Structure 1
C-alpha cells in the first residue's frame, strides 16, 4: 500500500478526502516503518496546532479497518505502518527507528504439522532487534558517553 492507493481506496469507500488524512498517509510513505499515534500527532502539530490524539487515533483506526495500515505493538504501544499488499511475508522490526525489512521465511509451514486438526485463521510473525544504522548510532553514542563521563582526579 502507498499514499496514492490509500487515497483512492478512501474515495471508493465513500470517505472524505481531508488534508489531515493525506498528511498522515504522507508520514507513513516517508517513514518506511512503524509510527505511533503520538509520533504522528507530534509531526503534525505545526501544520495543525489543535490536532488531538483522538483525531489521529480515529484516522489510524479507520486506516487499519480498511487495510491501509497494519498494526503491531512495540514496548507496549500500538504502532502502525502501511499494509503490505505483496505476497505473504513477515518482518524484521527495528526497535529504535521502527523501520522494517521483509523476510520470506514463514514458520507456519513447520508449525502447522504440530496439530493438523487445528484450523489456523491467521498469524503474525515478527522479529525484533536493531537495524545496522541504529546499532552504529548506539555504539557511537555509547563511546561518546564513555569518553565524556571520564574524570581525571588531581594527584595529591
Structure 2
C-alpha cells in the first residue's frame, strides 16, 4: 500500500485529513519492518513535539481497523507496519524477531488443512513465522 492509497481510504471512510495522520502513515511506509507505537511516537515527535502517546495509539488502532496497517505481537508488544500491496493476494510473513523486518511467504497453510468442521465458519486466520534475518544473525 502506498501513502496515497492509505490517505484515500481515510477519505473514503469519512476520516478528516491531518498532517499527523499522514506522518504516521509515512513513518510506517518508510520502514519495511514492524514498529511499536513508541517507535512511531519517537519519530513523529520531530515534527509534532506535543503529540501524546494516546493520540498516536488511537490513530494506529484506527489504521489497523481500516486495513491500512497490519498488526502483530513481538515480545509481548503490539507492532505495526503498512499493509502490503500484493494486488489483493492473500499471503503471510516471516518476521525477524531482532529487527522486525518482514518478507512475504508464498501460499497459505490453510490450504493444507484437510478439513474444518462443517459447523464452524472461518472468519479469518493468522500465520507468521518468526526467526532471525541474515543481517541480524551475523
TM-score by length of 2: 0.90
CA–CA distance in structure 2, aligned partners of residues 123 and 70 of structure 1 = 13
CA–CA distance in structure 2, aligned partners of residues 105 and 13 of structure 1 = 31
Q: Deviations over 1:69-103 (max 9, x none)?
A: 11111110011112234201110001111111000
Higher mean displacement: 32-41 or 81-90 = 81-90
Structure 1 unaligned residues grouped into runs of 5+: 137-156
CA–CA distance in structure 2, aligned partners of residues 61 and 74 of structure 1 = 17
**Match of residue 130 from structure 1:** 132
**Match of residue 93 from structure 1:** 95
Moved over 4 A (4+): none
Would you say 1:82 and 2:82 are equivalent positions?
A: yes
User: What is the 5 A alignment of 1:2-151?
Assistant: 2-86=2-86, 87-111=89-113, 113-117=114-118, 118-136=120-138
Superposed displacement of residue 116, structure 1: 4.2
Superposed displacement of residue 133, structure 1: 1.2
CA–CA distance in structure 2, aligned partners of residues 31 and 103 of structure 1 = 19
* Structure number with larger C-alpha Rg: 1
Superposed displacement of residue 44, structure 1: 1.4
- Higher relative contact order, chain-length normalized (CA < 8 Å, sep 6+): 2
Higher mean displacement: 123-132 or 12-21 = 12-21
SS for the counterpart of 1:56 is: helix
Superposed displacement of residue 56, structure 1: 0.5
Kindly report the root-mean-square deviation, in angstroms, between the aligned alpha carbons of the 2 structures: 1.4
**Paired residues, number:** 135
TM-score by length of 1: 0.81
Distance change >3 Å, CA 10–CA 115, structure 1 → 2:
closer
